[in-house]
Amino acid sequence: MTRKKRDKEFVGSGDEAFKKITLRDFVSGRIFTKEVVVKQLPYFLFLIVLAFSYISNHFKVEKLLKEAATLNKEIQELRIEAITTSSDLMYISKQSVIREKVNAAGVELDELTEPPRRIVIKK
């Protein structure tokens, strides 16, 4: 196949339409009436939809990351509060603290001096 014959096959492929587009066509808006641009319109619309979905996805991910950071901070605060409460509970359940509170309340209770005994009933 000769080179001229090969070049003739591609003459009607749409390259001529792109060569005829000038800056004046862009400025005036006549480019959108060209047949080549109208044929490519579905592809451009697909790209636009893809760009919008990408932007939407990005905003959703940012929102989820902010929410996760807020929840992690709240978990840390609740963990600190749980440790503090546990520490306070351990302190006030000590035998010496309970004895002081009972004496301060005016209740006359004596502390056991001997260990408790197990009572076994035989049938």
- DSSP letter for each residue of 21-77: --HHHHHHTGGGGSHHHHHHHHHHHHHHHHHHHHHHHHHHHHHHHHHHHHHHHHHHH
pLDDT tens profile 18-44: 567 778 877 887 777 777 777 888 899
Inside any domain, residue 71? yes
**Is residue 60 situated within a structural domain?**
yes
**Is position 121 within any domain?**
no
Instruction: Identify the domain containing residue 77 by its residue range.
Output: 14-100
Question: What's the domain count of the chain?
Answer: 1
Asked if the structure places residue 82 within a domain, the reply is: yes
Predicted local confidence at residue 7, as pLDDT: 54
Residue 11 has pLDDT above 60, yes or no: no
Q: Which residue has the higher pLDDT, 2 or 36?
A: 36
- Rounded distance between C-alpha atoms, residue 56 and residue 73, angstroms: 26
On whether the CB atoms of residues 17 and 36 are closer than 8 A, the answer is: yes
Give a yes or no: residue 79 inside a domain: yes
Q: For residue range 64-110, what is the model confidence (pLDDT) as tens digits?
A: 999 999 999 999 999 999 999 999 999 999 988 988 888 888 888 88
* 88 part of a folded domain: yes
pLDDT confidence tier of residue 123, bands split at 50, 70 and 90: confident
